[in-house]
A = this chain, B = another copy of it.
Amino acid sequence: MTQTHTDRIDDLDQDLSVFLGYEMKRALSLIQADLARVLGELGLRAVSFSALTVIVQTPGLTQSALADALQIERSNLVTLIDELSERNLIVRAPVAGDRRRHALMPTAEGQRLARVAGAAVAAHEDRLFAGLTEEERRELQRLLAKFRRTA
């Protein structure tokens, strides 16, 4: 019933917690910190993991299509693709009939790393969301997806 001194200090932002966006930002901050650590051990950033995953699942897509999918600017994708290429995780393949475009293809090593990293990210989420029941976690996922569809 009574709060300790520490509780009060930690709750100075409680008036912001009535806003869903604020709670979500704080929640995402926790997730991203742990995710960065997990992916960092594999030499990946969150955005390079995302790009690699989409390329593995949609081989042959162009840089513009990938930029649209991940909602990042084409220009900012260039160095990211450079990184993945230099590590031999993907290749820029020519597109027959349009020499402007590059078809992004995963290498065998890229496919392997995508599998390993995907498992690592799944484990990271299992660990972080252990405080929620399976049903609560599924419901959170459903509500976020519904929000994204309807907002």
Contacts and interface: CB of A to CB of B under 8 A. Distances in A.
A61 interface: yes
A27 interface: yes
A141 B136 CA distance: 12
A22 B28 CA distance: 9
Interface residues of A, number: 55
A29 B22 CA distance: 12
A75 to B, nearest CB: 19
Interface in A65-93: 65-66, 68-71
Contacts of A25: 28, 32
B65 A16 contact: no
Given A12-B69, A65-B12, A70-B13, A23 B148 contact: yes
Contacts of A53: 15-16
